Amino acid sequence: MRTSILTQLLLCAVLTAYSQAFTLRSWDDAYALANTAVGQMTLDEKIGIVTGTGQLNANRRCVGDTTPIPRLGIPSFCFNDGPAGMRLTKGVTGFPSGINTASTFSKRLMRARGKAMGEEFRGKGVHVFLGPAMDIMRNPKAGRAWESFGPDPYLTGEASFETITGVQSVGVQACAKHLIANNQEHWRYGLSANVDERTLREVYWAPFERSVEAGVASVMCAYNRLNGTSSCHQAGLLGPNGMLRKAGFKGYVVSDWGATHDSASDNANAGLDMEQPGDNIVIGGGVFGGNLKNAVNNGSVSVSRLNEMVARVLAPWYRLGQDSGYPAVNFDAQKPDGSGPRNEGVVVRSAAHTALVREIAAASSVLLKNNRTATGGGAGAGAGMTVRGLPIALERIKSVAIVGQDAKMPNKACGDLNECNDGTMSIGWGSGSNSLEFIVPPVDAITSFVGTGAIITSSLSNDLDAGVNAARGKDVAFVFANAMSGELGFYDIVVGNQGDRNDLDLWWKGGSLIERVAAVCNNTIVVIHSVGPVYMPWSVHPNITGIIYAGAPGEQTGPGLVDVLSGKVNPSGRLPFSIADNEAAYGTQIVYNSLGFPEIPYTEKLNLDYRYMDAQGVTPRFEFGFGLSYTTFAYSALSTSASGTSRVVKFTVTNTGAIAGTEIAQVYLGYPTAAGEPKRVLRGFEEIVLAAGVSASVSITLGERDMSVWDTPRQAWVRPAGTFSVFVGASIKDVRLTGSF
């Protein structure tokens, strides 16, 4: 029998309150408890801790499970997707994507999102949150890049650090994924990413290094090979002298689902601690199980190595207090519709989580264009003054058009993977997706905002003629268009796209729809929901008075957008990537066609996105870090000073406009020429909230690591000699202050 709604809400409140009450143990204390437990286990019990129970096991309740040891009080450990909130269950929040979280450039919101997701995972009884994803957006078409935080390793590292800190602050284990150079969906099960060591360290490894500094509980090794060797049995990554352990990683390494190959001893001795899901799922897997037991019995895997594997899995469980008072699993991932006796109907949503999702949706909305002007007697308005652009002057608006399929409610019956794109796009598809149970589409939010003060005409398809007819002569036309991507896996081909996008065009003739509407309405506001960069040749059209890049903002997509359209929230989102006019501007390609698993050379080395464009003299349409506000900001008084081995960059930001707003100040570093680095790299950012006319002093510290490069011959981080340049401003191109040291 299911609990009542009141009981569910009370239970949620109790679980949320308790989630902050656990005692964090030191790693030493956690390992002492883990080793004691290992000493009491049989060989079969040890194997059960490090091996998943199987993808098709009817007793499996989570995406990944292990075998419990009731006599020792050790439960089946529950692993569940995903990086944007709980998947495969009801009563949860649809959080914003990773790429939108990056768009906030707000460490505060990054951490708050992690904490809120952790609270929901804990409330459902999940031990391990399979996230954050921290795969660098090497190419803008990469299918799962939206799960992560963009092409910049520094921004990705900071977002990963804050997410992990937030998740683990409530006693839930985070799992950093996917180690390493997992950058496209086509051929992902066996392609070889061929990366030189300096590039690997400075770009693809950097976020994982920050995850270790955050004390991450686990790391997931990827499907792909790195320089010819499978990621899950590469000792240079996972072994005792590998990158993870040398960085101080204390937790365990778990395979991606079916990412193991060859023998049990190959994987275990290389540093893999746990295999999931534990059986063969066509692409790989089934390496441990009985094979690992045999390997231990014949001596090819030592008992001490097996004990180490088990202790590494148990230590985070003890460290995060999951051994005492942790909620039992109360959902059934095999029945995501909420049916069946194992779905106990526990609701972990809260008003606070909904408010946070709405705040992030607004804070991640990037205002790309705003031509706000007042004109007399606009078409359809009759006599009087019409205000064009943003924020919307509702009292001056008498007629509104809402155009585009992306404005309407998506198909909730599409399945848990969201493999449809027939409504507003709040998240991509695949295992990184989340629940659409409570989504509020833009058409509903805008209709509520406009109320009865204006006549609303809508065309919620991408039919070009219908869109034109709806928009003709209106005071304002909101046009919605999108582009989607997702995981390849065993999932459907979505509108001809196999995970990775085929191109950088808007779907469903979205670009043509925008141009046609702009031709008949001189106050056209364009809203783009997308997983990454899209072509915007129409952005200069004089009738397009506003453009908002809204990304993949989660369930509160409509309300968060209206907060910006209405001026309730002054936009502060910034692009976590560049938007260029052709794919060549990015310097990389997705390998679609190959005779067998391809070898992909990372010849661009350190130069991704804005770094490549800087090196090639390419001017993007909208650059990395760009985003407008309804107010203006001035920068002044730059100074740099030494503080031990660090460098402190100080400056002042002033709100020179008429309304309160948030500025995202960014610090870029230029290395001495001989260092061989890109011209400028992001090394700091700060969210600064200012009332009109108010100034704030900002201080950003550059640590020794921030000023160092990887010296491959010396196998060390080295700070190059010479003069460093400091660039402070509002984007990579909008530099307001320069200095050097």
Residues noted as catalytic: 256
399 SS3 class: strand
CB 133 within 8 A of CB 430: no
Phi and psi dihedrals of 165, rounded to 5?
-60, -40
Q: What distance in Å separates the CA atoms of residue 218 and residue 240, rounded to the nearest whole number?
A: 16
Give the DSSP letter of residue 77: P
CB 124 within 8 A of CB 327: yes
Q: What distance in Å separates the CA atoms of residue 258 and residue 230, rounded to the nearest whole number?
A: 12
- According to DSSP H, which parts of 214-256 are helical? 235-238, 243-246
Burial 401-433 (b: 16+ CB within 10 A, else e): bbbbbbbbbbeeebebbbbbbebbbbbbbbbbb
A 10 A CB-CB count for 337 gives 12
Q: What distance in Å separates the CA atoms of residue 642 and residue 726, rounded to the nearest whole number?
A: 14
H/E stretch holding 319: helix 303-319
Q: What distance in Å separates the CA atoms of residue 154 and residue 166, rounded to the nearest whole number?
A: 18
H/E stretch holding 668: strand 661-670
Nearest by Cα to 131 from 82, 170, 171? 82
Question: Which residues share a beta bridge with 599?
Answer: 192
Q: Distances in Å between the alpha carbon of 67 and those of 59, 61, 70, 76, 735?
A: 11, 12, 10, 5, 56
Q: What distance in Å separates the CA atoms of residue 141 and residue 185, rounded to the nearest whole number?
A: 10
Residue appearing with tokens 């949706």:
361
Q: What distance in Å separates the CA atoms of residue 558 and residue 441, rounded to the nearest whole number?
A: 5
CB 314 within 8 A of CB 274: no
Give the DSSP letter of residue 203: I
Question: Which residues share a beta bridge with 365?
Answer: none
Encoding tokens for residue 217? 């509980």
Fill in the amino acid letter for 427: I
532 SS3 class: coil
Encoding tokens for residue 545? 């008075």
Angle (deg, nearest 10), helices 43-50 and 290-297: 130
Contacts for 297 with CB less than 8 Å, ≥ 6 apart: 43
Nearest by Cα to 254 from 396, 400, 65? 65
Q: What distance in Å separates the CA atoms of residue 318 and residue 311, rounded to the nearest whole number?
A: 10
Q: Tell me how far the alpha carbon of residue 466 is from its chain's centroid.
A: 35
Encoding tokens for residue 651? 């400056």
Q: What distance in Å separates the CA atoms of residue 609 and residue 575, rounded to the nearest whole number?
A: 12
Q: Distances in Å between the alpha carbon of 728 and those of 305, 315, 620, 681, 698?
A: 50, 43, 19, 11, 11
